[in-house]
Chains A and B, each alone.
Chain A
């Protein structure tokens, strides 16, 4: 399968790789939201950590990913897109936009869904830590 140039770019030079600490380090930090989605036996796990300021703006984002090139590219792109947005703006990001930007083939749509899920899960984690209402409307955009 041929990869798009954008996937290859993100794969070779992924943006915002890393974390703000181990899961236990950041567990009690109210400025950090963590989203871990996927499963090793399915071949992809994405970990997204967001650092949110008092106004609800995502100051910084870090990802780690076990998965195929498209999964790595999707999570790298996700961190780029959410940085500087408010959490509510970040929740507007749809997996279909990731598919379009990276020119993902149909078999890789799953990777974009995972990236969208990681954003939502990280934001919900941050919201829960800060006593905000969490929307449990959990729908996929395949």
Chain B
């Protein structure tokens, strides 16, 4: 576009920059719509805020996760203060420090687990949907079997048998269990895409199957895959936090679920430590909450019928 080349002074003002960004985005209609959908904007802003909080938070605390930051016993209950913005636990740990470190770990778990689950689900869904026939029957049969299994019990059993659990172990474990849902969703998308003209064309040009799957099918469901990933990210986090509450969390390191479990175990709410009982969970909730908004908004963007025009 012409205005990009001319040295329009407006482009250096913040408004001008935004304008340029939007004009660029306009070329990609979907992205433009995404960034103007209020739900998406709200979701992304809130999620970014939580993410930033997790990333920067550790730089604003002088304490370690398990470092004694003051006296926290009920007699001298330390409510949030300037020095300890989120107060102290009964044992004298700084809740802010634990929350930000825990949040970091939990976000990492979500990404790793979400990626694994999305990846497995994507591969199985693509192959099943594209190949059809016996392959489809077999893969979907398998998927359905796993889908009906209650996940948490499987995770409990497996987690209990791991002699040693790190944060990444947990993520991989959960990711390996929660993929079936993705496979099913991707398969049905693939089925509807594979009969489209450009796929047929690609097939006639004797392109290899993996290439068709990646370039012609997966690439065209990118937005869909992204939404699936978000769901799996949330799923991983919820499953891990549940496990952590049951005492099957990482035996090493910290995570938000462990921080919450510790609060529950110590009867934080009963004993009046609302900051300890509520705040860590609140951040987890806000993060998931923002992603629900993001997903609903994206749903509206990518399914034109839903656009509130």
User: Do A and B share a complex?
Assistant: no
* Residues of B near any A CB (own CB < 8 A): none
